[in-house]
Amino acid sequence: MELAFTATQAPVKQGQDGFSRKGPAPESASYYYSIPHRRVSGSLARGGIRNRVEGKAWMDHEWSSQYLEKDATGWDWIGINLEDGGALMAFRMRDRQGGSLWAGGSLRQPDGRLKVFAPGEVRFVPRRVWRSARTGTNYPVSWLISMGDREFEIEPLFDDQEHDTRASTGTIYWEGAVRALRDGKPVGLGYLELTGYWRRVPL
């Protein structure tokens, strides 16, 4: 593949001016920014046939010196390019019982206004589970996500988007393309990441 990426919007500084809390302890945090709605153009080749492609992308850059909190097992995360030019990010860190240990997110309006959500304003409610025939792992691939007074339905473009990365990062997780809907109508496209369902993320 040969792809070129062009920024169309300024980076979104997640959390408090780029400092994104991931747990109750102050040191459970990362530096994190996103660049939504990147313009993509280029080509994909397979079997000697090259096809031109174009679309939109989402770039994340996140780094930290702190591992997961001892009571966390993994996380659920979405990054969505909304059709109106806005951008949506939400995550939750899960505890050992499958509940929310910590949560956060942001919604940038098309005009650039940014709303950052506190942990109590973000809710992840699973709607449907897909079971991997390869690993036997159950993943909640369909969600209802509430952020303040807004609700988004998250549906995968297809269910089987499991990644076996034991040879590199040492884990198996689900990450794939999804669409976001409101009242059953598509409002955006992006990605969903589900970690810690096979076993606790080995950080």
pLDDT of residue 132: 98
How much is the CA Rg of the chain, to the nearest whole Å?
Answer: 17
Range of the domain at 149: 2-194
Evaluate whether residue 29 is within a structural domain.
yes
For the stretch 58-75, pLDDT in tens is 999 999 987 788 889 999
Q: If 0-12 CB within 10 Å is exposed, 13-18 middle and 19+ buried, where does residue 84 land?
A: exposed
Q: In the prediction, which pLDDT does 25 show?
A: 87
Using CA atoms of 18, 22, 25, 29 in order, give the dihedral in degrees to the nearest 10. Answer: -40
What total number of domains does the chain contain?
1
Is 108 a member of any domain?
yes
As a residue count, the chain comes to 203
* The predicted structure's pLDDT at residue 203: 65
Residue 201 lies in a domain: no
Query: In the structure encoding, which two tokens stand for residue 185, read together?
Result: 């109508």
pLDDT digits (tens, 9 = 90+) for 159-172: 999 999 999 988 99
* Closest to 141 in 3D by CA, of 122, 156, 163: 156
The domain that holds 57 is classified in CATH as 2.40.370.10
Q: Which residues of the chain have pLDDT under 70?
A: 202-203
